[in-house]
Amino acid sequence: MSDSPVALVTGAAGGMGAAIVQRFALAGWRVCCTDIDAGGLDALAGDSIVVMDVNAKGTFFMCAAAIPVLRATRGAIVNISSDAGRQGNLNAAAYCASKGAVTLFTKALALELAPDDARANVVSPADVRTPMLEFQARHYGGGDRGAYYRALLEEYPQGAQARFIEPQEVAELVFYLCSPAAASITGADFAIDRGYSAGK
């Protein structure tokens, strides 16, 4: 067990964070979980409000703290950005700015880590079925969550087959990017969005 690799997951009590914790644990990794919500960490469930401090500065400081270990162990960072890190979304200027920062920060970081063969990649999901999506529907849905979800799904190319992304799907991609099989992948931005961004 002590020889098994270690993953550090931030926001581990949240929808995607919890799925990522479970995916790594399933593969026998030792998983160090951090979250501002201590109670939620216990239950591995939580809720959050997105601010520039958390998304941009939080990512920066966590990476800065982890880099010495990652350089020494040829480790890998996977930051979670968003489709909003690649394009402007209406009424989401601060969120877009924070996620744009995460995306380009990660690409630049990949260059700095490369001489030590450590890696950094970024994953950019569209709408994932987590408490954050419920939070958005509650606060921005004008009292009609169903209409809010339907309006989001209309933006996907699947038409009647449109659905939200599952946190486990994101976890699978994150796990892959941390595995030896992904040793040649660094500095990449992966859309996981059911084609949402393909035509934008």
Ligand X SMILES: NC(=O)c1ccc[n+]([C@@H]2O[C@H](COP(=O)([O-])OP(=O)(O)OC[C@H]3O[C@@H](n4cnc5c(N)ncnc54)[C@H](O)[C@@H]3O)[C@@H](O)[C@H]2O)c1
Q: Which residues bind ligand X (CB under 6 A)?
A: 10-11, 13-17, 34-37, 40, 46-48, 50, 54-55, 58, 80, 82, 125, 127-128, 130-133
User: Shortest approach of ligand X to residue 82 CB, angstroms?
Assistant: 4
| CB-nearest residue to ligand X | 14
Shortest Cβ distance from residue 184 to ligand X (Å)?
A: 25
Helices 15-26, 167-178: inter-axial angle, 10-degree rounding: 50
Least distance (Å) between residue 80 CB and ligand X: 4
Contact at 8 Å (CB) between 192 and 170? yes
Nearest to 16 by CA among 139, 185, 133: 133
Which one-letter DSSP state was computed for residue 159? G
Q: Which is nearer to ligand X, 45 or 116 (CB)?
A: 45
Nearest Cα to Cα of residue 127 among 189, 84, 93: 84
Residue pair 30/5 in contact by the 8 Å Cβ criterion: yes
Q: Which amino acid is at 147?
A: A
Whether 148 is a known active-site residue: answer no
Shortest Cβ distance from residue 74 to ligand X (Å)? 25
Comparing CA positions, the residue from 76, 158, 164, 156 lying closest to residue 117 is: 76
Active centre residues (catalytic): 95
